[in-house]
Amino acid sequence: METVIRVVIVYVFIMAALRMMGKREFGELAPFDLVVLLLIPELVTQGINRSDQSLTHAMVAVATLLTLVFATSLLSYRFKRVENVLSFTPAVLVRRGSLVQRNLDHERVLPAEVFDALHQAGLHRLAQVQWAILESDGKITIIPAQEAGERQTEDEQGV
Amino acid sequence: MQRNRKQPDDGPPQPPDVERKVALYRHQKIGMTLLALLPILAFAGAFGESRKTSQAAGGSLDVTVTYPTRLRYSLDERIEVRVMNVGGTVLNRVRVSFDPDYMDGFTSMTAVPGFTRAYEIPLDSMAPGETRIVRVDVTARRYWKRSGIMSVSGGTTPLRLNLTTLILP
């Protein structure tokens, strides 16, 4: 049935498009991101539905989408290669008090955004940071220098 | 066996790699199988539109009707009736009529030639060997099975064809 093919095409297309946009887009919704996320359904609705308003069509479309989501989740968990293709790798933004400019450029993260995360962690200088990591969900995690040192010691002691 | 993954960008320690096995709960197995069945059935054509052609002949008339046997709510379809005078004389007052019970399943009906009375289309006189085509465009409106008789009168005995259409919600 054509509905199945249309949902598969749209799902793969959106997955690929979102994957290419990068994880930064998912951390916080800026006005631009919100516009994009609101527009995508509007644009694909006609592509999937055509003029079919039937419940059968809707049920098949939803079932196709959920099956794809579940299958993606299973494959991503089972096979590392699939996971690598579908999910993002965390990026180090600050390493031992220094900004990693290459990663900031790749992930389009401004130093001000790193400092926002610093402030939220109760820090105010880069020197206080051991690691700042852009996680796969787009959020920035701060690991303070002292805390990282303590944890390293704990690891070494086998705690 | 667990081993640490390579640290990207000389970052903090990474979580260990573990052997990954897919494990589903019983309700997930049942639910996802049922859910996956819908697109599979749809792909196999279980919910798609289908048409059928029926033919009847008697007296001086030969009638063929092509109509939808399965379609989904709000979709447009066409019923096409081909009437042929196979006799040697002119047939007067040939009429194609549909059972209201059957036609009640549809809406937005337009017929060429047009309806004169409820679900009745006059073809007037037909010369020997002449063929007329009636087209009725319909939009599916009422769910489930719709059955009724389509009859063509004008010959010695009216020809009757049973039409059945399943309208999926």
By three-state DSSP, how is residue A16 classified? helix
Q: Which of A52, A60, A100 sits opposite B39 (nearest CB)?
A: A60
Give the pLDDT confidence score for residue A26 in this predicted structure: 56
Chain A residues 67-106 with a CB less than 8 Å from chain B: 67, 70, 74, 77-80, 89-92, 95, 100, 103
List alpha helices for chain B, DSSP H.
Answer: 26-43, 100-103
Contact of A156 with chain B, judged by CB distance below 8 Å, is answered with no
Please tell me the least confidently modeled range out of A120-134, B7-21, B147-161.
Answer: B7-21
CA distance A146 to chain B (A): 14
The rounded distance, in Å, linking the Cα atoms of B84 and A27 is: 70
Question: Do the Cβ atoms of B35 and A77 come within 8 Å?
Answer: no
* Cα atoms in the 13 Å half-sphere on the side-chain side of A87: 16
**For residue B3, is pLDDT > 70?**
no
Contact list in B for residue A74 (CB cut-off 8 A) is 22
**In this predicted structure, which of A18-27, B1-10, B122-131, B142-151 has the lowest mean pLDDT?**
B1-10
The verdict on a CB contact (< 8 Å) between A74 and B22 is: yes
Q: What are the backbone dihedrals phi and psi of residue A28, each rounded to the nearest 5 degrees, phi first?
A: -135, 145
Once rounded to an integer, what is the mean pLDDT over residues B52-62?
Answer: 88
Instruction: With a cut of 60, say whether residue B29 has pLDDT above it.
Output: yes
Predicted TM-score (pTM) above 0.95: no
Q: Report ipTM (2 d.p.).
A: 0.72
Contact state of B10 with A92 under an 8 Å Cβ cutoff = yes
Give me the pLDDT at residue A50, please. 72
Q: In this predicted structure, what is the pLDDT of residue B158?
A: 85
Q: Determine the Cα–Cα distance for residues A122 and A134; give it in Å rounded to an integer.
A: 18
So where are chain B's domains? Answer: 50-168
Residue B150, strand partner residues: B98, B161
- Per-residue pLDDT tens, chain A, 159 aa: give them: 667 777 777 777 777 766 665 555 555 566 666 666 777 777 777 777 777 778 888 888 888 888 888 888 888 888 888 888 887 888 999 999 999 999 999 888 999 999 999 999 998 899 999 999 998 878 899 999 875 555 554 554 444
The per-residue pLDDT for range B61-111, each reduced to its tens digit, is 889 999 999 998 888 889 999 999 888 888 888 888 888 888 888 887 787
Instruction: Name the band, by pLDDT with cuts 50, 70 and 90, for residue B1.
Output: very low
Mean pLDDT estimate for chain B: 84
Assign a CATH topology to domain B50-168.
Answer: Immunoglobulin-like (2.60.40)
Q: How far is B19 from chain A (nearest CA, A)?
A: 9
Tell me the CA distances in angstroms from A89 to A2, A23, A102, one per residue in order: 35, 9, 15
Residue B138 has pLDDT above 70, yes or no: yes
Does residue B4 surpass a pLDDT of 80?
A: no
Q: Report residue B30 as tokens.
A: 């049942």
CB neighbour burial string for B127-141, b if at least 16 within 10 angstroms, e if fewer: eeeeebebebebebe
Q: How far apart are CA A101 and CA B98, in angstroms?
A: 77
Which of B35, B48, B73 has the CB atom closest to A66's CB atom?
Answer: B35
Residue of B nearest to A74 (CA): B22
